[in-house]
Amino acid sequence: MNKNLLIAVFVLIIAISGYVAFTNYQSPEDTEASDKITALSTFTIIADMVAEVGGDKINSISLTKPGAEIHGYQPTPDDLVQASKADIMFENGMNLEVWTEKLRASIPDVPVVRVSTGVEVQYIAEDAYAGKPNPHAWMSPEQGLIYVENIRKGLTAAAPEHEQYFAARAAAYSDKIRAVDTKLAAALGQLPENNRVLVTCEGAFSYLTSDYNLEEEYLWAINSESQGSPQQVAKIIEVVKAKNIPAVFCESTVEPRIQQEVVAATGARLGGVLFVDSLSPADGPASTYLNLLEHTADTIISGLTTN
């Protein structure tokens, strides 16, 4: 009897240890990875916002890399492979990512969330894009909050079991965006009345300048092949001279060559690199959306206030 009991216990121990061995076989990382939603965004800024809301329930991937020009981007065969892994896709909309058309056709079952839905749209006044929406709404923290809400809704639809988790993270992130908004208003509010003109390469700052009561001037409305014509350069040279503007700026995704022509003709300085269509690499000054906003204000202020 004792022998039988011993065998039974032995078998039980083997069974338990076998079970334990089996569960340990899948590493926690593997289990998590298979549970996570893969969220594909068209560019780095949206991918960062999606990562903030999604936390450890998602893998957030950006199709374009830091520094990429995102208006006229051409998807690569690799991008199509990335897209095929997506459970959900996030795009800005407002004519920014017309290049995703083919890519989206290759993943017809993947839901696409347009994060700018519901923003207060500003329209482009001139050039080939006159009358079209200006797509750079994320440069206004106030509009950025609408992006966060659209992201929260999209992720919740994709993984309703994490509804509370996404809601809590979206709320905490929105508070941080509001805090940056307050900071930017205070900082940019200190620029003197006669020194509140932001001159950039692309007209990508309309939302920011209207939020913080700055005047906006730019070489061209939207990055495209026709940027930097002699007429565009002549117009800005005239403005910089007439308003005695101390510094002009260009963006990280654009060659500053044309703005240097303005510098050479006017004596204004090149005030630094602004980040608008892309985050910086991780070790740079604009590695997150929140850092990007703060860096924008710092760069404008130091450009326009130092002589």
CB of 194 to Zn ion, least distance (A): 28
Query: Which residue do the tokens 């390469």 mark?
Result: 201
Taking residues 124 to 163 in sequence order and writing x for each that binds Zn ion by CB under 5 A, - otherwise, the string is ----------------------------------------
Task: Considering the complex, state which of residue 173 and residue 275 has its C-beta at the smaller distance from Zn ion.
Answer: 275
CB of 118 to Zn ion, least distance (A): 20
The amino acid present at 148, given as its one-letter code, is: V
> 3-state DSSP call for residue 73?
coil
Compute the distance between CA of residue 129 and CA of residue 225 in angstroms, rounded to an integer.
Answer: 13
CB of 171 to Zn ion, least distance (A): 29
CB of 110 to Zn ion, least distance (A): 25
Query: How many residues contact Zn ion, by CB under 5 A?
Result: 2
Per the CB < 8 A criterion, the answer to whether 213 and 207 are in contact is no
> Would you state the structure tokens that stand for residue 258, as one six-digit string?
């044309």
Task: Considering the complex, state which of residue 237 and residue 276 has its C-beta at the smaller distance from Zn ion.
Answer: 276
Q: Of all residues in this chain, which one has the CB nearest to Zn ion in the complex? A: 277
> 3-state DSSP call for residue 197?
strand
Query: Which residue do the tokens 């929260």 mark?
Result: 152
Burial 112-136 (b: 16+ CB within 10 A, else e): bbbbbeebeebebeebebeeebbbb
Compute the distance between CA of residue 201 and CA of residue 228 in angstroms, rounded to an integer.
Answer: 8
45 touches Zn ion (CB under 5 A): no
Task: Considering the complex, state which of residue 85 and residue 257 has its C-beta at the smaller distance from Zn ion.
Answer: 257
Compute the distance between CA of residue 135 and CA of residue 204 in angstroms, rounded to an integer.
Answer: 8
Task: Considering the complex, state which of residue 204 and residue 263 has its C-beta at the smaller distance from Zn ion.
Answer: 204
DSSP 68-116: ---SS----HHHHHHHHT-SEEEE--TTTTGGGHHHHHT-TTS-EEETT
Task: Considering the complex, state which of residue 224 and residue 305 has its C-beta at the smaller distance from Zn ion.
Answer: 224
> 3-state DSSP call for residue 32?
helix
CB of 251 to Zn ion, least distance (A): 7
CB of 99 to Zn ion, least distance (A): 13
Task: Considering the complex, state which of residue 79 and residue 277 has its C-beta at the smaller distance from Zn ion.
Answer: 277
Task: Considering the complex, state which of residue 26 and residue 226 has its C-beta at the smaller distance from Zn ion.
Answer: 226
91 touches Zn ion (CB under 5 A): no
What distance lies between CA 215 and its chain's CA centroid? 24
> 3-state DSSP call for residue 225?
coil
Task: Considering the complex, state which of residue 137 and residue 268 has its C-beta at the smaller distance from Zn ion.
Answer: 137
Per the CB < 8 A criterion, the answer to whether 111 and 88 are in contact is yes
Which residues, numbered 194-213, are part of the site for Zn ion (CB under 5 A)? Answer: 204
Which one of 277, 279, 292, 304 is in contact with Zn ion (CB under 5 A)? 277
198: left (phi over 0), alpha (psi -120 to 50) or beta: beta
CB of 222 to Zn ion, least distance (A): 6
CB of 301 to Zn ion, least distance (A): 22
Note the residues at the interface with Zn ion (CB under 5 A).
Answer: 204, 277
